[in-house]
Amino acid sequence: MKLKSTRLVGRWLSVLVISLFLTLQIQAQRQQFELACIAFYNVENLFDTINEPGKMDLDYTPEGRYLWDTEKYKDKLMKLADVISVLGTEMTPLGASVVGLAEVENRRVLEDLAAQPQLAERNYQIVHYESPDFRGIDNALFYNPDHFEYISSRALPFELERDDGSMERIREVLLVTGKLMGEKVHIMVNHWPSRRGGEEATRYKRIHGAKINRGIVDSLKQVDPHTKIVVMGDFNDDPVNHSITRYLKAIGSTDKMEPHHMYNPYYDAFQRGLGTNAWRDSWSLFDQIILSYGLVKERGEGWRYYKSEIYNDRKLVQRTGRYAGYPYRSFAGGQYIGGYSDHFPVFVYLVRPVSN
């Protein structure tokens, strides 16, 4: 009986030792790498309730089309903060280090969004410039100062000459340079012209946007051929359109990627029928995060692309009515319907070895 008991204890100890060894081994493997999350979200007309001279924001006032009051504004802020707070947390518990944003009215709404309870602890800092957009909406960037050290930023003009010789001024391209956990990266936030008036008739505008971005990429790569660049935004074009593939030179295959190429991890997602916004019962994938060669194929121990996601949680999907199955938007049919946005957010994970 004693011998049997001793054997049982011995086996139990062996199992415990093996289990402990495997646990330590798994922990060691996990500690060999660290992850960072970079996100983008078109937040669909985040306006305050104040009529600002020079902006087309009358619809977003208490007396306007949407009867846009403080209660509705706070509700939208809460919903957007709820979404941003969970982006990337499945693999990075502290959430997105950087979040590009489109369709924000001004710095005030960004401050109000960053101050929401779900986001306040992250202390998101703001990069924003007022754009000449006729709708009064801008691009912006949130960054967590614990993860991202701001170096510089600028708003790059996006202008097109009309037939009458006047200039059409569109939402500027926001370029932000900083250090993501010590490593220098350049991030460009875009919101290219819509397809209003027809895809073909407006195509040249988005091609012009692609040329602007490509020019910036090439300029940065002339300084440092290995530089790490993130081009994100609502492009109002899909990953397969010429603006993305031919002019931005973003492809969907890492195997075929050469130093002059960008990599678009959302190419395959689009081919599988996934999307970030819908129109007339058809999905588009206008929201993308595109990466330079330095973040995908360069050798070394710095940040590398790991994985891409579309955040399309059930709560972000319209359940009933005409737009059932679409992103649960804030505005439809000339009224506020209490949703989040007409776009799903996207994000990517970057990974790198941890220095010993």
Secondary structure of residue 104 in the 3-state scheme = strand
Distances (CA, A) of 212 to 206, 209, 321: 10, 5, 40
Average pLDDT on 237-252 reads 98
Model confidence pLDDT, tens digit, residues 22-50: 444 545 455 589 999 999 999 999 999 99
Run of H or E including 114: helix 107-114
Q: Tell me the per-residue pLDDT of 58-105, one tens digit each, with 9 for 90 and over.
A: 999 999 999 999 999 999 999 999 999 999 999 999 999 999 999 999
Q: Are strands 331-332 and 262-263 parallel, antiparallel or unpaired?
A: unpaired
Which residue in 315, 310, 347 sits closest to 329, CA to CA?
315
Q: 174-195, pLDDT tens digit by residue?
A: 999 999 999 999 999 999 999 9
- The answer to whether 107 touches 48, Cβ cutoff 8 Å, is no
Six-digit token pair at 56? 């087309």
Segment among 11-15, 169-173, 235-239, 311-315 with least mean pLDDT: 11-15
The crossing angle, in degrees rounded to 10, of helices 70-86 and 107-114 is 60
- pLDDT for 32 equals 86
pTM, 2 dp? 0.90
Residue 177 · residue 151 · CB < 8 Å: yes
Domains, in order of start, for the chain = 38-353 (3.60.10.10)
Q: Which amino acid is at 142?
A: F
Half-sphere exposure of 85 (CA within 13 A, CB side): 17
Query: What pLDDT does residue 356 have?
Result: 62
Distance between CA atoms of residues 140 and 105, nearest Å: 10
